Structure 1
Amino acid sequence: MAKILRLLIFIPLGITGFALAIANRQLVTVSFDPFNGGDIPGPSVTAPLFIVLLLALMVGAILGGVATWFEQGKHRRAVRNARAEILRLREKQDRSLV
């Protein structure tokens, strides 16, 4: 069931990505110079638009994952502390039974 559901999601996603790549083949220039206007041009990259879009999507997903990981750090710490407390209480209980 999970395999079928995965196929129902990834096949249309792949078709959409392929259509995006075909429809957006024109070259665009991405400039990394925030102060464009001097005699020396800043660094820039010329690539097809679909590559720029896909890279932006991947960078956004990675940054979102990193932000979520940092945000959930307090929950992971609480679970770690709770597990340590459980172990401490079990050891205390075992000592009192003996």
Structure 2
Amino acid sequence: MVRKIVGLVILVPLAVVLIVLSVANREMVRLALNPFQPDDQMLSVSAPFFVFIFSAVILGLLLGSAVTWLSQGKYRKRARNEARSAVRWQAEADRHKTRAEEIAGSTLPRIQAK
């Protein structure tokens, strides 16, 4: 419930700002990728300004996500190793429990016979 409310409080104003930004920046602009010849048609792209803004935001989100994912690799590796270790310890504990039950089961009749 709280997650939905926080999502609405953040996403609705963000959507309104992006819509207003898109409507206000509809004119065509040219992005020149050649700094020495800005008039070069081969290395330039023409589009509405909001397309460039949205592209920059999306690229930033993707790069940020990739950097975060890569920087957390050591923690994921440690979690995998700890999970394997936990499985090994659990298997060993189960073996010891089974062995203890076998020993207890084999000594129980002797105790009752006396």
* TM-score interval for Structure 1 and Structure 2 normalised by the shorter chain: 0.7 to 0.9
The answer to whether the 8 A contact 1:31-1:42 is kept is no
Q: Percent identity?
A: 34
Cα deviation 1:25-82 (Å, max 9, x = unaligned)? 2221112335x239x6542111111110011000010011011111111100000000
C-alpha distance in structure 2 between counterparts of 1:4 and 1:67, whole Å: 28
Q: What is residue 93 of structure 2 aligned with on the other side?
A: 93
C-alpha distance in structure 1 between counterparts of 2:91 and 2:20, whole Å: 61
Question: What is the identity, as a one-letter code, of the residue corresponding to 1:50?
Answer: F
Q: What is residue 33 of structure 1 aligned with on the other side?
A: 34
Gaps in structure 2 of 5+ consecutive residues: 100-114
C-alpha distance in structure 2 between counterparts of 1:4 and 1:41, whole Å: 48
Question: What is the identity, as a one-letter code, of the residue corresponding to 2:5?
Answer: I
Q: How many residues align?
A: 97
Kindly report structure 1 stretches of 4+ aligned residues shifted beyond 3 Å. none
> What is the correspondence of 1:70-85 to structure 2 with a 5 Å cutoff?
70-85=70-85
TM-score by length of 2: 0.74
After superposition, the CA RMSD in angstroms is 2.1
**Matched position secondary structure for 1:50:** helix
Q: What is residue 8 of structure 2 aligned with on the other side?
A: 7
Gaps in structure 1 of 5+ consecutive residues: none
C-alpha distance in structure 1 between counterparts of 2:14 and 2:7, whole Å: 11
Question: What is the identity, as a one-letter code, of the residue corresponding to 2:82?
Answer: A
Distance verdict in 2 for CA 1:41–1:6, change over 3 Å = closer
Q: What is residue 16 of structure 1 aligned with on the other side?
A: 17
Q: What is residue 105 of structure 2 aligned with on the other side?
A: none
Question: What is the identity, as a one-letter code, of the residue corresponding to 1:14?
Answer: A
The answer to whether the 8 A contact 1:29-1:44 is kept is yes
